[in-house]
Amino acid sequence: MDARGILVTGAGSGIGAGIATGLAGAGHHLVVTDVDRDAAEAVAGAIRRAGGSAEALPLDVTSDDSVAAALAAVSRPIDVLVNNAGLQHVAPLEEFPMEKWDFLVQVMLVGVARLTRAVLPGMRARAFGRIVNIGSIHSLVASPYKSAYVAAKHGLVGFSKVVALETAGTDITINTVCPTYVKTPLVDRQIADQARARGIPESQVVSEVMLKPMPKGVFITFEELAGITAFLMSPAARNITGHTIDVDGGWTVQ
């Protein structure tokens, strides 16, 4: 596969950092972006020390100005966009602050549209583009106390289908990768939040809430997600567009 310029959002930690590191190891140039500039630079620096190619940029996906500034600063064209930036808030709807509800949707749905809209003209001009949205098992099913997250992630699937149709006339694809739980700092915080919301120990959250619905019963790894992204970038996947790639250990086949 040709070396590609890949921009990953929310890449200062967790899934984004894992995907960026994995794809850099395959010889691609990574644009590591995060609202936390220092976190992005730490990941990019680690990639460079390992012999890879990377640059770091601050990026707030909820801001038109931030998106424009980041894309103006990149050192090379963006061939692949990985929309990963995300956050979580766990609360019953009656106790869910609406400003927090709106912010989750702004980051994980509106922000995806904003950044995708910004990179599409360049992809069209070069007649190549791959957009990989990091969805969730919650793009497909629901859990209590996560109304904003579930709504945003469900919306991502519909958004991807529309953009797939709008880009069908050129070699651009867009797909949504939907993993179950990946052991990240975000999930660690969810474990504590779920334990408080449900009134059960954290160990029980892991065994009874997170892993029990998965017949395989294991957390998803960064390596799996980087490998799936690499496949979606490849010529073999040029006709896979507008789809969800379910990485759920058998959850949704039951």
* Residue 60, number of CB atoms within 10 A of its CB: 18
Determine which one of 145, 149, 159, 181 is catalytic: 149
Helix, coil or strand: residue 237? helix
* pLDDT, position 187: 82
Helix, coil or strand: residue 60? coil
Tokens of 35: 């609202």
Contact 218, 153 (CB under 8 A): no
pLDDT tens profile 32-85: 999 999 999 999 999 999 999 999 999 999 999 999 999 999 999 999 999 999
**Pairing state between β 80-83 and 5-8:** parallel
* pLDDT, position 215: 95
* pLDDT, position 184: 84
**How far is Cα 152 from Cα 149, in angstroms, rounded to an integer?**
5
pTM: 0.93
As a whole number, the mean pLDDT across the chain is 96
* pLDDT, position 28: 98
Query: Taking the mean position of all CA atoms in its chain, how far away is CA 243?
Result: 15
pLDDT tens profile 135-189: 999 999 999 999 999 999 999 999 999 999 999 999 999 999 999 999 887 788 8
HSE of 69 in the Cβ direction (CA atoms, 13 Å)? 13
Bigger pLDDT: 211 vs 36: 36
Between CA 104 and CA 110, with CA 108 as vertex, the angle to 5 degrees is 95
Average pLDDT, integer, range 231-250: 97
* pLDDT, position 188: 83
- Enumerate the domain spans of the chain: 5-179+221-247, 184-219
| 181 in catalytic set | no
* pLDDT, position 194: 84
CATH architecture of 5-179+221-247: 3-Layer(aba) Sandwich (3.40)
* pLDDT, position 224: 97
Strand partners, 58: 34
pLDDT tens profile 96-116: 999 999 999 999 999 999 999
* pLDDT, position 2: 84
Helix 98-105 vs helix 147-166: crossing angle, to nearest 10: 30
pLDDT tens profile 9-24: 999 999 999 999 999 9
- Percent of the chain having pLDDT more than 70? 100
